[in-house]
Amino acid sequence: MSSAKTLDGKGAGEAIRELLRPRIAAFRVASGRSPGLGILLAGNDGGSQIYVRNKVHACEELGIVVDLRRLSEDSTVEQVTSVVNSLNRDESIDAILVQSPLPAGMGAEAEKEVFNVIDPGKDVDGFCAVNVGRLAQNRSTLAPATPSGIIELLDRSKIQIQGAHAVIIGRSDIVGKPMAMLMLHRHATVTICHSRTQDLAMVTSRADILISAVGHPGLVIPKFVKPGSTVIDVGTTRVTDRRQVSAIFGEESPRLEVLDRRGAVVVGDVHPGVASVAGAVTPVPGGVGPLTIAMLLSNTVKAAETRLT
């Protein structure tokens, strides 16, 4: 039986958006225009298409102008950087987002190469080398949206970070590494786990705050979790296998009905059984996702305000 508190990422995201409305209105008065976000979407990745559509809708709902540029699956790094440079020069664009992942044909280093072309003052995701360095030194203006959103959720849920042992599963440049830095800056003791970590359950079961961001459905099971701890699920994997969904959620789960109707369900890294051990958990969907978009909007407004001063 579930006993963990569900952390409301959707509600927190909506609260953040409402705080942005008067700032956007003030920017419009001061500058004579709305804040502008340039988004580059290269390729045909289904998840990226959905994420970009959600981001565009969220921006339009708040009154942020979006300039969406699309490139084909066979586009080159040079073509991508050319678009980024045009957005860098555009005075009506305050923030730039290059949707990840880029097409595999561009090569393993394409994203870093492209991110480093973005003007640091417009780098809404905080992924370029300059902004990563600023984050490491605890003087960032634009920090990655998902880790920033998690900090917001912990604060709004009155979960103490200072002095806590935070364990992060995943070492990506997008979530794992910046998450670790933000937690360190808030005086947590931080452990990062990854595919080479030995006895993962032993390490994670010591965490006061456990954050999983690896895209491995149902990876975090009850034995991974310290009783009463806070578990943050960043995983969002699209699963189409009925047997896999049934194994994680059980044969009576409503998720199976959703799978039958839609052909897929979004599944997090955290097994539902964790709710019987943890003190608080985030749902998937409805947990970290809405906060990621809210912090993207917040960073866009912050970038616009900074350019105005």
The residue from 45, 55, 122, 233 that is catalytic is 55
User: In which residue are the tokens 């998690």 written?
Assistant: 150
99 is catalytic: yes
Cβ-proximal residues to 280 (8 Å cutoff; 6+ apart), any chain: 4, 5, 6, 7, 157, 159, 229, 230, 231
The b-or-e profile of 71-86 (16+ CB within 10 A means b, else e) is beeebebeebbebbee
What is the predicted pLDDT for the residue at 3?
85
The residue from 125, 208, 233, 269 that is catalytic is 125
pTM of the entire structure? 0.95
User: In which residue are the tokens 């959720």 written?
Assistant: 153
Q: Which helix (DSSP H) or strand (DSSP E) does residue 7 occupy? A: none
The residue from 8, 99, 119, 269 that is catalytic is 99
Phi, then psi, of 65 in degrees rounded to 5 = -80, 130
Q: How far is Cα 43 from Cα 51, in angstroms, rounded to an integer?
A: 13
55 is catalytic: yes
Which domains are seen in the chain, by residue range?
30-129 (3.40.50.10860), 144-289 (3.40.50.720)
pLDDT in tens, 255-291: 999 999 999 999 999 999 999 999 999 999 999 999 9
pLDDT in tens, 48-101: 888 899 999 999 999 999 999 999 999 999 999 999 999 999 999 999 999 999
What one-character DSSP code corresponds to residue 98?
A: E
What is the predicted pLDDT for the residue at 129?
96
3-state secondary structure of 293: helix
3-state secondary structure of 228: coil
